[in-house]
Structure 1
């Protein structure tokens, strides 16, 4: 079973189902192209302009910045000052709170970025909650020029990419001001405490 299906079982029944065998980092690297393909499949319940599709039941507050390609699904909420860019997809009933930023990422139903969060190049499962200030980082600033590599189940995973955030399993919880460093896989139900750090990264000289 693929990593995506192990951590987000509903992946097999969503609009991305044909990509279930991809690695999470391959999916996020191709986010703009993937979301553009989804735009072509949407029904009349979406309002589409400039590669931004918003379901008629979604609510977008004034001051939010929506940059295509982007799909905002049914009953989603995007708060004032939030930014969505780089190819993003919100399945259903997702919340992007005030001041939060989502980039090149895929959010499954019922997931919430409370406010002042950053999530980059990530796949986030159903019912995940990020408290205020929690971050899923996507780039190793301390290792200039290095691609993202990390350990999972004792094995070294080399993405070959300069940016990748995380695969976050269903029902995970990130406390306020927690940080997930670039390159992580969080199992379903994972709880990261407030001010916690998840760092599975491997420096270039140890690979």
Structure 2
């Protein structure tokens, strides 16, 4: 992975975390255990500190950054969807930020909350725990159900397992010229030899 020291600060990555080789880590970045950092993610700790806590994921093409002296944090089991931008904010424990959402400086996403895809969370907004926010600008829509929180937790567990699987099986290769006969498929997150119906 591209990993850069900046003004004497070197990123820290727990050995159980997986950072994709195309993700970039710069300066004051701390990645905790069992985290997954996806392809093309840019975590630029050249002004403020960026922290991704135990079991959290920051997916493909996400951006994390902050103003000088301010932290940007994804707390334990946080889940940041493809293409999201986090700037100087805090994503609470077991919360989800949807695809292509933007969360601005000083915003706090409460524990077990969900920011809908494409939402814009304004600077300084405090999202209550266990709520759904959506829109541009985002506003609280309703409380989340236990079923929705369980769905989110299951998705995050899949990314924790993905980090482990990437350590064990991800390898750069040349593509095949044609599809092999009886090509296996992924089922439940793992390769199976069962054919598609």
* Structure 1 length-normalised TM: 0.57
- 1:186 and 2:127 equivalent? yes
Higher relative contact order (CA 8 A, sep 6+): 1
C-alpha distance in 2, partners of 1:77/1:198? 26
Question: Structure 1 stretches (4+) deviating beyond 4 angstroms?
Answer: none
Q: 1:198 aligns with which of 114, 125, 138?
A: 138
Q: 2:51 aligns with which of 79, 84, 89?
A: 89
Match of 2:117 in 1: 176
Correspondence 1:101-180 to 2 at 5 A: 101-104=63-66, 105-137=72-104, 164-180=105-121
CA drift at 1:198 = 2.5
CA drift at 1:50 = 5.0
Q: How much is the aligned-residue C-alpha RMSD, in angstroms?
A: 2.1
Report the structure, 1 or 2, having the larger strand content.
2
Match of 1:63 in 2: 22
Structure 1 segments unaligned to the other structure (5+ residues): 1-48, 138-163, 200-207
Is the 8 Å Cα contact of residues 81 and 99 (structure 1) preserved in structure 2?
yes
